[in-house]
Structure 1
Amino acid sequence: MSPFFRQMVAVSGVVLYMIGTGANIAYPGVLLQQLRLPDSAMHLTPEHESWIASILGLALISGILVAPFSLQKLGRKLTNQLSTLPAMGGWALLVAAKGPAALLASRSLQGFAMGLQAAAAPVTIAEYSSPKYRGAFLATIAFSFASGMLVAHIFGTLLYWRTAAVACGSFYVVSLILISIPPETPPYLASKGKNNECRKSFRWFRGDDEDSEKELEVLLNSQKKKLTPKVAQFTFYRQMVTKPEFYKPTVIMMFMFVLFQISGMTVVPSYTVPMMEDVSGGTIEAYTSMLMVDVVRFITAVIACVVVNKLRRRTVLFLGIVISVVSLLTAALLLYLRDLGYIPEGYKWTPVVPTLFYIFGKTLGILPIPWAIAGEIFPLAYRSIGSGISGMFLSIMFFVVVKTAPTSFRQIGINGTFCVYGICIAICGIFLYFLLPETKGKTLYEIECHFRGEKEKDVCERDMMLELQKVEEG
């Protein structure tokens, strides 16, 4: 097998459980719709419905808290394997659920698994991938989200909700099999001083050509300098938080994940049907509008896999932000005009157009780039902890945004909610414009050097050249 194919096999296991994550987020959109039917075997209150959609965010916190320690102590591979187990248990419990309590428990298990995977996925993919393919592979996270949402809505449209849950849960079974095939990631093995295992793993992923061997030696030698005697945990954390290569990426990822959630990334899949009914003014059948949104999201996610690998990260992100903000504010304006009677009856559907452009914009830039950056931006020594801290913001914002969405829809309407989202996206975009560096085409070591400052960067580059010279001299 070629190195690219081996990297693709390794990444595919992560892709499949991220498809499951997309299904977890979107599943309430069809579950709650079926449970509202008069002949449903289970009836829920509006409060039950909002908790079923939003409890993933609270459960994510528990997974995020465990993830840094699991990634550091157990490694990337075992963490990924273990994360599939509560996810499968959650779907199994959902299939057997007889009341709201069981539904909430099943969603909590799914959320815990998602917390582990949210921290593990970008780190694992980045460490599996060569710089040449890293952007495309990290963009598959966005593709996975979109695919999972589409799959959950299709299954929920065609199948009874329990049968749909079985189909969605099956992705984790296949994921566990694929995750077990590749070895542990080379950077993790190097960080633990397991040089022989690191060499075998690196060559499994990258082959043994001259460029790969040089990169391998740079990785090993850069970690030898960091394998210093252990210090007290308090001292380690005190030193860590003062280092720019830790706190700068952490602040950037906080803004990234706030942007990710405040853009409605998880709200739209959970409440697609009622949202699109309001946006279309009842002119488009509910499930048809839901599938329209899913198809646009899926096609855009496929495009994003190519675009993220071809264009600069900043270009893609800010293009998505601009499209999203303009589309949300345009949709809100059209909804206001329709409510005031300025749009004729035959054109009540016009807000659907900017809404679909909004789905396009956020899926093109706001969905893939945070995950791509999350896999690249943290130095190896702090990658697990940094991913956990930034993931905490992801989970908290997930809960807050999804839990408050029904109230927001009732109190200020879809148009007011769109305005709030558009303004918040613009604010996050302004901060990121000044904070976010370009990472495309750089090795993980070069990105780490960037955050240490220009002087430190020169030292890093000099060290890299010396290591390469040693390799060339034999």
Structure 2
Amino acid sequence: MNNAKDQSNLDPEKTSLVNLELNAQIQPAVAANSEKATPSSYVVTTPNAKQGRGSAFKQVVAALVAQLGTINTGMVFGFSAIAIPQMKSPGSFIEVNDTVESWIASINAIGTPIGCFLSGYLSDLLGRKMTLIITQIPTLLGWVLITFATNIDMIYAGRFFVGLGSGMVGAPARVYAAEVTQPHLRGMLVAIASVGVSTGVLVEYIIGGFLHWQICAAISSVVPLTSLILIFLFPETPSYLMSRQKPEQARRALGRLRGKSCNLEREMDVLINFSKQNKVQHLSGPSEILRAILQPKVIKPFIVLALYFLIYQWSGTNAITFYAVEIFQASGAKMDKNYLTMILGAVRLVSTVAACILCRRCGRRPLTFVSSIGCALSMLGLGIYKFATMAEAAEAAKVAKAAGTTDVILNSAHSWIPVFCIFSYTIFCTLGFLVIPWVMIGEVYPVQVRGIVGGLTTMSAHIFVFTVVKSFPFLRVALTEPGIYLMFGMIPLLGTVYLYIFLPETKGRSLQEIEDYYSGRTKTLGPAPRSVAPSAPQVLEPQKGQLLP
């Protein structure tokens, strides 16, 4: 048993292959035939954990192309922020009141949950790649409708379709990226989707500061068109192909995704063993799908992530994103609202890139807690400031209205405080909330239902988006501005307690180890095993009281 060939023949039901850092779907199988078996019962050490990994470049490019459509999601988010103020300006052919404004901002979030559900089902039925192709069609249609809109109904329809498309792309893009990458790259590359969203927001803020909203819509259509063309160049994921009992196609896809430097035989052996052990196969009918979804290993992570999304959406993130220009208008800041919005978009993008890097280094839990506490303090600070300056802001609003403008400018020497709070909120929110739960969608679900449950999870997330964005203009009146921001601050503060108790750390863990944890085959997801020294011999090391198989 002193060579790799002997180890590949070990009974996968009794042996846990730890720390090989292979493909995200080709990882250690934990002992499942005994309640007493643990991942630490047998440990395989290897001379060099980096040998046979394959091409990182190929994995990076595949993940980037799969998630290119998420840039469009950011453009959808940012569009209302730049379009609504233009539509309210004199000479606009659209009459905008509070109700129309709320629908322009939120109607895309009605289409998004529908898209999430459809893409989840299609992802498991047709595959991750084909779903990514289909998802670009409603997106293109939506932007074309907005570009040539002559009335409010065309704008509503266009916003609905771009929302439908952005909902469809979320889950398959992240699942595809998770399934084609290895653990040492997975967290960072799945988080690229969040970089895409932030990039889209920034691009929309910039072009919206200089161009008419219909021209912005035309430019936005370039992104889904490019994504549609490029995805044809990449293969289906090996994990999906194995679930459809197509091992030869899975081997070819793995070869294209890893290159010549990868130990394909080793990865395929472990992939096949895991598929047999967990009886991974295609679910043929609704009854089978429903039974698979209702298993504890699916329900548990779904509840954790759904509540995570509830907490982070009701901390106010998309209220800030969708109404950024108007929020800066009412902040009392002296700097131009459009420039502030552009800077905010740039800060969000930089923070998202930092979050992707930190996601690989720091793990999911620490970034989540930094985000929840930082968001709470920022929103509470904004609410307290708004409360302290209510009288002055009301007087400034009267002056602005008399002057025929919507910009509220305070003479206070502390008018920088709301801008600081909004910027700090964006940084803290991006470091954790805007990245971590989306990364975990591609990690915590079993491969059989990863597509459809990932779609259900993103559907729940966007339902929360709709409730926040649609209700924000009315809550701002009902609770007053200080009240709405104080509420946004209390929710993540209380959510920190929930996340501390229930959120697992998945950094460095294979998808199989995570599935074993939620299946009850292992009791904890502790720190990932450390890499062994390059000079260490490749041998099985039994723990005390255990026998070698």
TM over 0.5: yes
* SS of alignment partner, residue 346 of structure 1: coil
- 1:437 aligned to which of 497, 504, 510: 504
C-alpha distance in structure 1 between counterparts of 2:292 and 2:230, whole Å: 38
- 1:189 aligned to which of 227, 235, 241: 241
Contact 1:12 1:178 in 2 (8 A): no
- Name the structure 2 match of 1:267: 319
- Name the structure 1 match of 2:94: 42
1:171 deviation in Å?
0.9
Question: Does the alignment pair 1:363 with 2:455?
Answer: no
C-alpha distance in structure 2 between counterparts of 1:108 and 1:121, whole Å: 20
* SS of alignment partner, residue 35 of structure 1: helix
- 1:80 aligned to which of 115, 132, 152: 132
More helix, by proportion: 1
- Name the structure 2 match of 1:297: 348
Residue identity matched to 2:225: V
- Name the structure 2 match of 1:424: 491
1:224 deviation in Å?
3.0
Point out the more displaced range, 352-361 or 228-237.
228-237
Contact 2:94 2:151 in 1 (8 A): yes
* SS of alignment partner, residue 97 of structure 1: coil
1:410 deviation in Å?
2.1
- 2:164 aligned to which of 97, 104, 112: 112
1:350 deviation in Å?
1.9
- Name the structure 1 match of 2:363: 312
* SS of alignment partner, residue 505 of structure 2: coil
C-alpha distance in structure 2 between counterparts of 1:177 and 1:42, whole Å: 35
1:99-248 correspondence runs (5 A): 99-207=151-259, 209=261, 213-225=265-277, 226=279, 233-234=286-287, 237-238=290-291, 240-241=293-294, 243-248=295-300
Residue identity matched to 1:142: S
Residue identity matched to 1:11: A
Contact 2:124 2:449 in 1 (8 A): no
Contact 1:94 1:162 in 2 (8 A): yes
C-alpha distance in structure 1 between counterparts of 2:66 and 2:206, whole Å: 22
1:407 deviation in Å?
0.7
Q: Percent identity at matched positions? A: 29
Q: In structure 2, do the counterparts of structure 1 residues 121 and 260 end up closer, same or farther at CA, with 3 Å as the change threshold?
A: farther
- Name the structure 2 match of 1:465: none
C-alpha distance in structure 2 between counterparts of 1:269 and 1:229, whole Å: 39
* SS of alignment partner, residue 127 of structure 1: helix
Contact 1:26 1:153 in 2 (8 A): yes
1:232 deviation in Å?
6.7
C-alpha distance in structure 2 between counterparts of 1:175 and 1:395, whole Å: 22
C-alpha distance in structure 2 between counterparts of 1:192 and 1:32, whole Å: 47
Q: Deviations over 1:233-287 (max 9, x none)?
A: 436524641x3211111111111221332132322121001112222x1422211
- Name the structure 2 match of 1:283: 334
Residue identity matched to 1:128: V
C-alpha distance in structure 2 between counterparts of 1:32 and 1:92, whole Å: 18
C-alpha distance in structure 2 between counterparts of 1:401 and 1:456, whole Å: 36
1:99 deviation in Å?
0.5
- Name the structure 2 match of 1:57: 109
C-alpha distance in structure 1 between counterparts of 2:125 and 2:285, whole Å: 17
* SS of alignment partner, residue 30 of structure 1: helix
1:340 deviation in Å?
5.6
C-alpha distance in structure 1 between counterparts of 2:285 and 2:147, whole Å: 47
Contact 1:304 1:368 in 2 (8 A): yes
* SS of alignment partner, residue 221 of structure 2: helix
- Name the structure 2 match of 1:464: none
Residue identity matched to 2:287: F
Between Structure 1 and Structure 2, how many residues are aligned? 457
Structure showing greater relative contact order (alpha-carbon pairs closer than 8 Å, 6 or more residues apart): 2
Residue identity matched to 2:131: T
Contact 1:3 1:204 in 2 (8 A): no
Contact 1:449 1:457 in 2 (8 A): no
Contact 2:180 2:237 in 1 (8 A): yes
Contact 2:283 2:448 in 1 (8 A): no
Contact 1:312 1:438 in 2 (8 A): yes
C-alpha distance in structure 2 between counterparts of 1:239 and 1:454, whole Å: 17
Question: Does the alignment pair 1:329 with 2:380?
Answer: yes
Computing the radius of gyration from Cα coordinates, the structure with the larger value is 2
- Name the structure 1 match of 2:441: 374
1:421 deviation in Å?
1.2
1:456 deviation in Å?
8.0
1:125 deviation in Å?
1.1
* SS of alignment partner, residue 266 of structure 1: helix
C-alpha distance in structure 1 between counterparts of 2:197 and 2:63, whole Å: 14
C-alpha distance in structure 2 between counterparts of 1:229 and 1:183, whole Å: 19
Contact 2:372 2:495 in 1 (8 A): no
Question: Which runs of 5 or more residues in structure 2 are unaligned?
Answer: 1-53, 394-409, 526-538, 541-549
Question: Which runs of 5 or more residues in structure 1 are unaligned?
Answer: 459-467, 470-474
C-alpha distance in structure 2 between counterparts of 1:81 and 1:131, whole Å: 26
Residue identity matched to 1:435: F
C-alpha distance in structure 2 between counterparts of 1:174 and 1:392, whole Å: 25
Residue identity matched to 2:219: A
C-alpha distance in structure 2 between counterparts of 1:245 and 1:152, whole Å: 39
Contact 1:10 1:181 in 2 (8 A): no
1:320 deviation in Å?
1.1
Q: In structure 2, do the counterparts of structure 1 residues 223 and 165 end up closer, same or farther at CA, with 3 Å as the change threshold?
A: same
Q: In structure 2, do the counterparts of structure 1 residues 364 and 457 end up closer, same or farther at CA, with 3 Å as the change threshold?
A: closer
Contact 1:330 1:354 in 2 (8 A): yes
